[in-house]
Amino acid sequence: MNYSQISYDQLKALVEEGIIAFDVPLNEHCSFKIGGPADVFASPKNQTQFIRLLSFCLENGVPYFILGKGSNLLISDKGFRGMAISTLYYQKLTRDENYISAFCGVSLSELCEFAQQQSLSGLEFASGIPGTVGGAVFMNAGAYGGEIKDVLYCSKYIEPNLDSLLSSNPVFHLKAEQHNFSYRHSVFQDRELIHLSSVFKLQLDDPQAIQKRMDDLNQQRWEKQPMELPSAGSVFRRPPGHFTGKLIDECGLRGFRLGDAAISEKHCGFIVNLGQASAGDVLKLIDHVKSTVMKRFGVSLETEIRFLGEL
């Protein structure tokens, strides 16, 4: 990016009271605590500012990445040569009868807490999943037998092209069936759509019973997953007919480490950062796991986490 042509004042004018900063370390903005700096870090405060930033990037050929909590992300040690657009301030929660509307920047924990307070059930499975609503819809996040597709009613999105962004009606709607949900997949991945918000259809229930289910699932999560260490969640997709963690464990890789990146002792489907792990450490460990599992079982593992920057 040519900073001689793009000034702070130019960018700040696009987001007004939002945030614009240069050379921001991204390890502070992801759950793995790994990653170099982004050339530009932007946090718009509303839809207008969001669209302004995207239009600016497209007009000027600036690479961009929409960043929530970075809970399913491995960022290059070299960082990201472009603009990281954070959804930090893009948060709003409302209720209408049995429906809850949530903006993309709302964390899943906040969404689930709000639902419980409103005596609405259906999101308990997601209460301990890190990340935001935007990321959860993008990936069709799921746990303990539940998935986002089970409760999603509709979504709003924008398309990353100038004609659409500069039109009088840049926001589009998706019905539930138009999301093309499958295992850790949605239409947002296929068409590179940018999620703005979603509505969830829930059921009335006793708030104490809802809280009890959330507490039980969170206890299971803390008992079985390395919640105490930085990670990006499950690294690999579940191969048909197998459990990833079991395959890795049976290869004798529990606790195996390269640098400060290690296979979790608690759950072999997780890679954890023991302190100073680099993206390079994690990538080498991923490759080692994939080749070992293939050699031992003939099973090809595919990564579930996303990658950002030059890896």
* Active centre residues (catalytic): 184, 234, 304
C-alpha–C-alpha distance, residues 191 and 291, integer Å? 31
C-alpha–C-alpha distance, residues 26 and 306, integer Å? 14
Q: b/e for 6-23, b at 16 or more Cβ within 10 A?
A: beeeebeebbeebebeee
Closest CA to 35 of 283, 287, 292: 283
Identify the bridge partners of residue 263 per DSSP, sorted by sequence position.
271
What count of Cα atoms within 13 Å lies in the side-chain half-sphere of residue 289?
32
**Residue for token digits 């930085």?**
230
Please report, for residues 49, 51, 139, 233, the alpha-carbon distance to residue 226 in angstroms, rounded to integers and kept in the order given. 37, 37, 21, 9
For residue 89, the tally of other CB atoms under 10 A from its CB is 17
C-alpha–C-alpha distance, residues 62 and 82, integer Å? 6
